[in-house]
Each structure stands twice: as structure tokens, then as C-alpha cells.
Amino acid sequence: MSTNQLLKPVTTEYKEHLIIGGCDMVELAQTYGTPLYVLDEKTIRSVCRDYKEAFSSYNNVKMMYASKALCNSAVAKIVDSEGFGFDTVSAGEIYTLYKSGIDMSKVLFNGNNKTPDEIELAIQYGVGRFSIDNFHEVELISKISKKHNRQIDALLRITPGIECHTHKYIQTGQLDSKFGFDLSQIDSIIEHILKVDKTIKIRGLHAHIGSQIFEPKCYYDEVEVLVKEISRIDNKFNIKLDEINIGGGLGVKYTDSDNPPAISEIADVILDSLHKNIEKYGIELPALYLEPGRSIISTAGVTLYTVGSSKQVPDMTKYTAVDGGMADNPRPSMYEAEYYAEVANKINETPKEKVTIAGKFCESGDILIKDIELPALEAGDILCVYNTGAYNYSMASNYNRAAKPAMVLVNNSQSDIIIYRETLEDLVSHDNIPDRLVR
């Protein structure tokens, strides 16, 4: 079974308590406090190797971890050691990789509104590829690259007109999208770039059709659109593009009802489409870039909470609250995302009641899990929510002036802090009281 098809980390064990990475989750909660993000190193490495194996028959594949899923220095070092490059979307992600000692030529800078400061930083640090998203960006890159006497290698991001069946907020490949060039605009942007004093070299095309994708055929269609466009561009402009970036988006298993395709399944579809359409449209074999993010990191992560109060609405819902919620995991509130959980200190007990897990924040919509069957919960129990590695910490906030949780990496019975818990002092460290308010 492919790692992205697992509901829990590959090292999950049931002993007296829930064990992940050889570490007792109850003991971790006691040692580091809760809420606590926990990442299993073996699961991260397992899914990276699943990707490399699945695409091993194609000689020129570039795996690029989509940093927006979870970006910190420890994750960067793990993914880098597995041979991945990085897709970034902000100065913060670029700086994190730079400070982590990553080879910046393996980094791509993506995004629909890169600021001049971000472009400056990326060029200074030697980012290997820019994914150009709009006409305005061409002017900024040209101006800043001239200042640094650099030629920029770039991909053109296009919207291929493919809608995958996922939440509308995480669809990105449909025609009506804030990202990329419509197919009808490609000739205009190429003509524009060719006039910009050779500061930008177009290397290929880039598309990303969405996230949490369960339909492999979407990738077949996407590859065909990209190959067809490369052939057409060559015929019209005599430009030999040699790179195709198909983005990422492969789904993961958040609940038992989810059935994402295996990494090998999408690899078969992508490579089949690539070979057939290369022959059909008469282009040379391009470098194939992929940008998995969620499917690399999500299954590796769990979040531990301490159970607090409960409320039984007569003849209706029983709410049980935990010491976190929408500030450390906004996805249920934003997307109606669903999760599965177990009680780490009662891992061998039979579920006895249906409860709704509520967060502690001052919003009625702060609900983590609706109607889940669990053993009878008591204050002090440790709840483990699975598959929280992606888009939980990276989307976390200080709502209600909450401090962001710590993150721990587990492997071979060892636990290490990789992000320290914010303190109350951290929360006020950037505050400033103007002199006129001081009496």
C-alpha cells in the first residue's frame, strides 16, 4: 500500500498507549505539553521513496516538495536528504531553505503576486527557477535581474482548463482562476518576454490543477495540454522548451471513507500520457517536474490535545472540548475538512459514545470532528488526531491571542523539538505602545 493511502503513520503501534515512531504519545504530551504537533520521520521518508520508485522508469524526473504544506528547517533537511528540490511561494519559505543550507538551485519560486522584495531575495539567493504567473511579474523580474546581472530561468504557469473534483477553494487549474496565464494569452506573454533584453529564459511550462485529487485521469489530461502547447510554441516561435512541471495535488486518507489513488497509479497515468503525447505531438523528452506537498507530509503528522470540558445538549449533541482547535487546525472551519482521532491513553478500549470534538476558541464553527465514536472521554485524556502534517501548522494563527504549539519529530524511540512552543512573551514581543499613549 502506498504511504499516502494510510490513515496513520507507518510506525503506529498499539501497546498500553498509542505509540508512534517508537514514542509513547501520552508521555510526549506530558513532556512537551499540548496541543502538540508530532511528525514521524519514517513516514516522511517512506512517501518520498514511494514517489522516487513510482517514477523511476523515467530518466529525467525532478521531485519538488511543495513547501507551503509544511515548511521548517528539520523537514527541509529530511526532504533534501531524500533527493527532493523545493517549490516555494514566499520570501519566508525561501529564507527558511537558505538558512537550512539547501542548494538554492533546486528551488522554484511560484506565486501569483510576487513582490519586488521577494523577487530580489530569490535572485540574490540564487533560486533555480521562477514560475512566471502574469505580465506584471515579467517587468519586475526583468528590472531586478538586470540590477544583479543575472539571466533568470523560468517556467510559464498556465491554467490548463481542467477541473478536478475537489473543494472549490483548492481547485487551481480551471479557466476562471487567479493563477497563471489562460491558454489564449501564451503567445502574448512569450512575445513580451522575447522583447525583454534576454533577462528571462523560458525553459518550460508549469500547471497545477488542484489539491486533494482522487482522479488520476486529471493528470493524463493535464500532461496532454502541456505537451501540445510545447509543440505549438516550438512550431510558432522556434523555441525548444524542455521542462514540464505538472504540480502536485495527490490526495491522502483523512478518514476511513477516503480512497486516494496510490502514488504508483498516478505515476502510471502521468508517464503513459507523457510517452503517448510526446509521440503524438512530436517533441523531445522533457524534464518532468512534480510538486507533491500534502501527500509527502500529511500522513506523517498527528496532533495531540488534552480533553477538557464536556456538554450534553438534551436529546442532541454531546460536545467534548480540547485545548486547541481552529487556531492550530483551521481546515475544518475553512473547508469542512474531516479527520479521524483516537484516545492515546485508552487506545485498547472499545468506543462507547458518539461525541463532537470542539475547540476552545470563541467561534461556534470551531469544531474539529463531528460525531465520532470514542471511548468515554474524561478531562485529562489525550486525544490524537491523525493526518495533520499538512496545512495545520502552516495555516495556524494566534487567534484569541493563542500561542502556536510546539512540533516534535519522532524516530526510533527518540523525540526532538523542531519548532518551539510560542510563549506569552512571544505574543507581545512585536507589540509597540506609541509614546503618546504612555502616561
User: Residue 238's pLDDT is what?
Assistant: 95
- The answer to whether residue 434 is domain-embedded is no
Residue ranges in the chain modelled with pLDDT below 50: 166-174
Q: For the chain, how many residues are written? A: 439
User: Residue 170's pLDDT is what?
Assistant: 36
DSSP 377: P
User: Residue 271's pLDDT is what?
Assistant: 98
Beta bridge partners of 322: 307
Known catalytic residue: 23?
A: no
- The answer to whether residue 205 is domain-embedded is yes
Number of domains composing the chain: 1
The label of the residue with cell 501497546 reads 15
CB 50 within 8 A of CB 16: no
- The answer to whether residue 239 is domain-embedded is yes
- The answer to whether residue 30 is domain-embedded is no
- The answer to whether residue 212 is domain-embedded is yes
User: Residue 195's pLDDT is what?
Assistant: 84
Catalytic entry in 23, 71, 362, 384: 362
Peptide bond into 160 cis (omega under 30): no
Tally the C-alpha atoms within 13 A of residue 260's C-alpha that lie toward its C-beta: 25
- The answer to whether residue 54 is domain-embedded is yes
Beta bridge partners of 40: 410
Positive or negative torsion for Cα 255, 177, 134, 188:
positive
Among 355, 305, 306, 347, residue whose Cα is nearest residue 329? 305
User: Residue 278's pLDDT is what?
Assistant: 96
- The answer to whether residue 366 is domain-embedded is no
pLDDT one-digit tens code per residue, 47-94: 999 999 999 999 999 999 999 999 999 999 999 999 999 999 999 999
CB 346 within 8 A of CB 381: yes
Tally the C-alpha atoms within 13 A of residue 241's C-alpha that lie toward its C-beta: 27
Terminus-to-terminus CA distance in the chain, angstroms? Answer: 66
Q: What is the CATH number of the domain that holds 278?
A: 3.20.20.10
Phi and psi at residue 425, to the nearest 5°? -65, -35
Neighbours of 358 (CB within 10 A): 23
User: Residue 104's pLDDT is what?
Assistant: 98
- The answer to whether residue 414 is domain-embedded is no
Distance CA 332, CA 335 (A): 6
User: Residue 177's pLDDT is what?
Assistant: 67
Among 251, 224, 108, 115, residue whose Cα is nearest residue 160? 224
CB 164 within 8 A of CB 213: yes
pLDDT one-digit tens code per residue, 166-194: 434 334 444 566 778 899 999 999 999 98
Burial of 264 (0-12, 13-18, 19+ CB in 10 A): middle
**28: phi > 0 → left, psi -120 to 50 → alpha, else beta; which?**
alpha
Give the range of the structural domain holding residue 154, as residue numbers without chain letter: 41-296
CA triple 208-87-89, angle to 5 deg: 85
User: Residue 363's pLDDT is what?
Assistant: 94
User: Residue 176's pLDDT is what?
Assistant: 60
Which amino acid makes up residue 255? T
DSSP 338-368: ---EEEGGGTTSPP-EEEEEE-SSS-TT-EE
User: Residue 167's pLDDT is what?
Assistant: 37
CB 404 within 8 A of CB 393: yes
Helix (H, G, I), strand (E, B) or coil at 27: helix
Instruction: Confirm whether pTM is higher than 0.85.
Output: yes
CB 245 within 8 A of CB 155: yes
Helix (H, G, I), strand (E, B) or coil at 344: helix
